Amino acid sequence: MTKLSYTRAALVAEARDWLATPYRHQASLKGVGADCLGLIRGVWRAFHGTEPAPMPAYTPDWAEAGGREQLLAAANAHLHPAAIEDALPGDVLLFRFSADAPAKHTGILASGDSASGSFIHAYEAASVTETRLADWWRRRLVFVFRFPNVSA
């Protein structure tokens, strides 16, 4: 079911359709439950039909326990890298919670750019939400990726 191309507006609309989905570790079902990676997986499925690779089980402390850049490796394998200053709505954002830790959190830029705007993400003890890309988040933003087949 891969769509030959789709727009950034369609990506953002799909991500916004996940708003208020409860946080559930390892879940990826719109309206039922999702974590930050589950949101990205669900948006991917909306445009590609299937996930690019099987999803292994992971614990809440997966990044700290392994110390490997697993999220970054997965993004590099399936998405297209972009410069942080070139981020556009519909792009996938990766965050590092401390300078010496692997990237552990992700979301989708919903409006604006990496200097100002908002992004959609899921985080523990909350739901999928749209959050202003405030200084706290901008300081932790380390990578930007684009979904394949995106048109203007």
**CATH number of the domain bearing residue 104:** 3.90.1720.10
Residue 31 domain flag: yes
Range of the domain at 136: 6-52+66-151
> Average pLDDT for residues 35-59, to the nearest whole number?
87
Residue 59 domain flag: no
CA–CA dist 35, 106 (Å, integer)? 9
| Residue range 119-145, pLDDT digits in tens | 999 988 889 999 999 999 999 999 999
Q: Look over the chain and give the mean of its residue pLDDT values, rounded to a whole number.
A: 91
How many domains are contained in the chain? 1
**E strand or H helix at 9, and its extent?**
helix 8-16
pLDDT at residue 52 in the model = 80
C-alpha 59, offset from chain centre: 18
> Average pLDDT for residues 83-98, to the nearest whole number?
96
pLDDT at residue 61 in the model = 64
Angle of the 8-16 helix axis to the 36-48 helix axis, nearest 10: 130
CA–CA dist 53, 129 (Å, integer)? 26
Sorting pLDDT into bands at 50, 70 and 90, what band is 42? very high
- Is residue 62 over pLDDT 60? no
